Amino acid sequence: MRVFVFCAVLFVCFFTFFNVNSLPRNKNSWADKPFDFYNSSARSNNDLTIDDGFIVNTNPPKIAYPKMPNMCSNCICGVGRKTRIVGGTIATIGEFPWMIAMSKHGQFHCGGSLLTKRHVLTAAHCLEGFDKRHFEIFIGKQDFDKSSSAVIHRRIKSWTVHEDFNTYNLDNDIAVIELDRSIPVGGAIRTACLPENRAIDYTGSLATAIGWGRTTEGGDVSSTLRKVELPVLSDEECDEAGYQKSRRTTNMFCAGYLEGKRDACSGDSGGPLLVEGPYGHLEVIGITSFGRGCARPRYPGVYTKLTNYLGWLRDNLNGECICPPAK
């Protein structure tokens, strides 16, 4: 027994000696690890201890979540006329008072959501490669076949397309439009709510897509604002869809029915995908991005995951505040 213990101790000493001497001497060598999201130079040597043969970090860094955009104090978001939502029906006037319509050369082009009194949230592919002078923005629009004095018209001052937008797979399909003039918020016009919780999993939630897109594949664009209820799918369910695995990224999620039934369609791009928040308000969790056809089996709609871009939005709203939900 003594011989066995002696051999074990000798082995441990031998192993420790050669491993300690083989460690790199550069105190900044930790920074070369591929998944290190923090600056190693900020770490103190006193943060690392040896406990029963394991290296233990006694002062682990805190996870830094992106900051939300600034909050206003004189308005509320996500509140429209309360009606029961039925998939594929015409939206009631005032039901989604943050919904904007974007026209190009006088023809409906894409949807979007009013985020602040001067900013609109939409999809990057609605803007990339186009000239802002050809666009007009309408809010309060319900029916393109009818004129209304309640409709507010604006031009585009500038827009910001996400710097990493990929035109091939539509990764980072998000953009912010700055309007030429402010829009009065309150009463018939409201702003959209952003998700308050960055970590929430919306899988299984029943969401609502809205827009003036085609009502059938290959059909005409709807003249009236329409809505459709769609379940938010898990990543596993989205992987079962017909899209190439390499096309979908962690900045996207799917919503719809794998067997078909209902879907967003061509022309709905840029519009919001909404879920009911904890205070009864509606909040935008996705931006309508792409799909194959309309309501085809195995091809649910794909949406930009807005919770991944709250920090980016804060940096691109030029200091403008967003309205909080009523609590």
Asked if 225 and 211 count as a contact pair (C-beta separation under 8 A), the reply is: yes
DSSP-derived pairing of the beta strands 226-231 and 89-90: antiparallel
The tokens describing 149, both together, are: 């004095």
Q: How far apart are CA 230 and CA 87, in angstroms?
A: 8
Asked if 288 and 306 count as a contact pair (C-beta separation under 8 A), the reply is: no
Catalytic site residues? 125, 173, 269
- Collapsing DSSP to helix, strand or coil, 236 comes out as helix
Per DSSP, the residues of 62-84 read PP-PPPPPPBPSS--BS------
Identity of residue 305: K
CA angle 282, 285, 287 (to 5 degrees): 115
**Torsion-angle region of 221 (φ positive above 0: left; ψ -120 to 50: alpha; else: beta):** beta
Q: How far apart are CA 93 and CA 264, in angstroms?
A: 20
